[in-house]
Amino acid sequence: MIIRTPKSYDLKETSVTKEDIYFNRRKFLKSSLAAAASGFLGFCPSKNLQAEVQQLSYKTTKWGKTLKPSSFEAITSYNNFYEFGTDKSDPKKNSHLLKPKPWTIEVAGHVEKTGVFDFDELVEKKTLEERIYRMRCVEAWSMVIPWIGVPLNKIIKKLNPSSKAKFVGFTTLKDPTQMPMQNTNILDWPYVEGLRIDEAMNPLTLLAVGLYGKTMPNQNGAPIRLVVPWKYGFKGIKSIVKIEFLSHKPPSSWNIQAPQEYGFYSNVNPNRDHPRWSQKKERRITGQSGFAALFDDKIDTLLFNGYAEEVAHLYKDMDLIKFF
Ligand code: MTE
C-alpha cells in the first residue's frame, strides 16, 4: 500500500455544519422520544432537521457512545478507494461516476439461499443500527466513524450457509466505466476480500450502508461495504456485488499484491510491525480545524484496535505474529 504524508489540504475543514446537524439530531431524537413518552405529539422539527432524520432510520445502540467521531469532512475526503485513484483526495473527486442505485448482490457457494438479490431484499431497513467504531488504517492513521449498518451475522443467518462454509469471500463491482482506475493494473480487479466464517459472524462485523446518519457517500463504498473494526481498514471492502460462502480461504487484494506485507488476517496488532514501518502508534484524524488540529497527535495503537474483549477468543491458539 502506498504511504504518503498527508498534505494540509487533504484535511482542510471547510464546514462543520454536517456535524452540527448530526449532534443536534442526536439531541433531537432524545428529546422527541421524551416528548412522545410524555404524550406530547404535536412537536414538529424544522424542515432541514426533519430531512436529516428521515435520510435513514436506524436504532442507536450502545456501541461507541463515548467516542467522538472524526468530522464528516475528514471521513469523506481522506479515503482509500483505488478504483478512483491512489491519492487520498481522489475518491471524493472521482467517485461521482459510481451509480449505487439500483444495486444487486449475488450470493453464492455453500449456502441455502443463492441468487441475485436486490439491495433492499438483503438489507432490511428495520435492521439498521448505528455503531461508532474506531477504525485503524494499516498506514498508521485512524478515525472514529459513526457507521449505519446491519450486523453481517443477521444477513448470514437469513441466507443459511451449510457447515461446509468455513470462509466468506466478498467482491467489489468491476465496471471500468464507473471505476476508471480499473482501466489500469495498479491492482488485480475486482478488489476482493475475505473473512473466516466465525469472524463474519462476530457481532462487531457490519455491512455498512451509511455514516453520520446519511446514505453511504460514494467515496466510502456506496451502497454497501464491509466494516471490521478490529482489522486494518483494507479489509473493509467497498461497493460489494458478491458474497460467497466457501470451504477454502478466499483471496484478498492486498495479500495478492504484496503477501509479505499484508496477511489474510490483518488484525490490528501493535506488536507486529509492517515490514516498512511500525504499527505501535497511530495518528488519530479528528478533522478539527484551526488550533485543535495541532492536537491530532499520535496515540498508542491497541491490540485488536481496542476490541480485544469482543474478538480475542477467535484467535486464542494462534500465533498472531505468524498469522498476521
Ligand atoms: N475497497 C475497494 N473496493 N477498493 C479499495 O481501494 N481500500 C481499502 C478499503 N476498501 C479499498 C477498499 C482501504 S486500503 C481502506 S484503508 C479502507 O477501504 C478505507 O475506507 P474509507 O475510505 O471509508 O476510510
Torsion of CA 228, 234, 235, 240, to 10 degrees: 100
Q: Sign of dihedral through CA atoms 79, 191, 129, 151?
A: negative
User: Rounded CA gap, 45 and 51, in Å?
Assistant: 10
Place 275 in a pLDDT band, splitting at 50, 70 and 90: very high
pLDDT of residue 233 exceeding 70: yes
Is pLDDT at 17 greater than 60 in this prediction? Answer: no
One-letter amino acid for residue 177 of the chain: T
Give the pLDDT band of residue 20 (cuts 50, 70, 90): low
Flag whether 160 is in a domain: yes
**Is-cis flag, bond preceding 161, omega within 30?**
no
Q: Is residue 221 part of a domain?
A: yes
Q: Across the chain, what does the average pLDDT equal?
A: 87
What is the Cα–Cα distance from 132 to 229, expressed in whole angstroms? Answer: 10
Q: Is residue 26 part of a domain?
A: no
- Asked, for residue 67, whether it belongs to a domain, the answer is yes
d(CA 113, CA 296): 46
Ligand 1 close to Cβ of residue 81 (< 6 A): yes
Share of the chain above pLDDT 90, in %: 76
Residue 82 beta carbon below 6 angstroms from any ligand 1 atom = yes
β-pair partners for 134:
144
Per-residue pLDDT, 274? 97
pLDDT of residue 27: 60
Handedness of CA 87, 88, 94, 95 (dihedral sign): positive
Report whether pLDDT(36) > 60.
no
15, part of any domain: no
Q: Helix H segments across 180-280?
A: 197-201, 253-257
The CA dihedral of 269, 273, 274, 279, to the nearest 10 degrees, is 60
For the residues 97-107, what does the mean pLDDT come to?
A: 96
Pick 42 or 197 by higher pLDDT. 197
Residue 148 near residue 56 (C-beta atoms within 8 A): yes
Q: pLDDT by residue (tens digit) across 192-223?
A: 999 999 999 999 999 999 999 999 999 999 99
Which atom of ligand 1 lies nearest, measured to the CA of 81?
6
Per-residue pLDDT for 237 more than 60? yes
- Does 224 fall in a domain? yes
Task: Give the model's pLDDT for residue 288.
Answer: 83
List, as one string, the DSSP characters of 102-168: S-EEEEEESBSS-EEEEHHHHS-GGG-EEEEEEEE-TTSEEEEEEEEEEEHHHHHHHH-B-TT--EE
Average pLDDT of the segment spanning 8-25:
49
First to last CA, the chain: 16
Q: How confident is the model at residue 125 (pLDDT cuts 50, 70, 90)?
A: confident
> By three-state DSSP, how is residue 64 classified?
coil
What is the grid cell recorded at 321?
505474529
Provide the number of structural domains found in the chain. Answer: 1
**Ligand 1 touching residue 85 (CB < 6 A):** no
Within-domain flag for 25: no
Residue 158 amino acid letter: K
For residue 271, what is the domain's CATH number?
3.90.420.10
- State yes or no: pLDDT of 16 exceeds 60: no
Biggest CA–CA distance in the chain, Å, is 62
> What residue owns the CA closest to ligand 1's atom 12?
237
- Give residue 79's identity as a one-letter amino acid code: N
Cβ proximity of 106 and 224 under 8 Å: no
Report the range of poorest mean pLDDT among 106-110, 238-242, 289-293. Answer: 289-293
Mean pLDDT within 76-98: 98
80 lines ligand 1 (CB under 6 A): yes
Peptide bond into 102 cis (omega under 30): yes
Whether 142 lines ligand 1, by a CB cut-off of 6 Å, is no
Q: Whose CA is nearest to atom 8 of ligand 1?
A: 234
Q: Quote the pLDDT of residue 46.
A: 41
Mutation choice for ligand 1 from 72, 227, 234, 285, CB with most ligand atoms inside 8 A: 234
Instruction: Give the residue numbers spanning the domain of 274.
Output: 58-315
The pLDDT score that the predictor gives to residue 8 is 35
In a domain, 279, yes or no: yes
